[in-house]
Amino acid sequence: MTEKERVLSILDKYKLKAKKSFGQNFLINDGIIKRIIKSLDISSFDCVIEIGPGLGSLSLPISTEAKKFILVDADRDMISVLNDILPKKDDIKLIQSDFLKYNPDEESSFDNRLFVGNLPYNITSELIEYFLKCSFKKMSIMVQKEVALKLDYEKNKKDKSYIGAFLKTFGEYKIVTFVDSSSFYPQPKVDSAFISLERKKEIDFSLYPIYKALFKDPNKIILNCLKQYKIYQKALDSLQKNDNPFLKMRARQLDIDELFSLAKEIKNMN
């Protein structure tokens, strides 16, 4: 049975439909699923936490390798299906919850956990920020293709984001595979990409708002961006006094190390 046949049979059996309110589009491409699972290196983590597991396209293969597996879905119907189709094992736990309200620290340690998810695209940024705040060893998630490209920070590229800059400061960012819209049921209007971020160093999340401020307006120099935030006035005065050359540059003109150095300097001065 193909993954598409499996998904359609489950929807028919349980009289369910994909819910727009939960951003549900079920992955049905067998080749893509195998590629994603291979990239996860599941057995090397103490705990795998899947966000929005849906009908188990990734959950089923993950469940055979994970030492501890926690699945979190806001839709009680999906939890009910997963409860029926997943193996009955003590190391597998289903939680019906809005993930942004779930505390992963209650059951796993940040230093060796893997976040996996096919995220609702309307809250991608909020979820990535949440993962970063909670911290992890590796994050592997499905996002819209345009978002994946925007997150791949490169110096001097106007279309790159502050989130992408922070991600690359945090660790190694990789686009694992692009995923055509036909790989989902129902088929969305956009193409997707499965991305991964492996932590290489622990970055204080308090630096994140500073990155956001530095990239406030891609057409403005850093001096004018920081002027919009009273909270950074003390640091800005000090940077101006020391004639910091970065103030006359746009944030995108700085590389990852320069952005990190400047953000730390602002935090320490504030």
Contact 78, 54 (CB under 8 A): yes
- Torsion from C-alpha of 260, 261, 262, 268, nearest 10 degrees: 110
Alpha-carbon separation of residue 266 from 153, 215, 224 (angstroms): 21, 14, 15
Look at residue 218 and tell me whether its pLDDT is greater than 90.
Answer: no
Identify the band that residue 200 occupies on the pLDDT scale cut at 50, 70 and 90.
very high
DSSP output for 187-254: PPSS-EEEEEEEESS---GGGHHHHHHHTS-TTS-HHHHHTT-GGGHHHHHHHHHTT-GGGGS-GGGS
Structure-block tokens of residue 112: 């060796």
Identify the band that residue 87 occupies on the pLDDT scale cut at 50, 70 and 90.
very high
Dihedral sign from CA coordinates of 248, 169, 257, 230: positive
CB atoms within 10 A of CB 206: 11
- Summarised one tens digit per residue, pLDDT across range 30-61 is 999 999 999 999 999 999 999 999 999 999 99
Instruction: Show the beta-strand stretches assigned E in 99-156.
Output: 113-118, 138-144
Any long-range contacts for 149-155 (C-beta under 8 Å, 24+ apart)?
A: 149/175, 149/193, 151/195, 153/256, 155/252, 155/253, 155/254, 155/255, 155/256
- Summarised one tens digit per residue, pLDDT across range 118-131 is 888 888 999 999 99
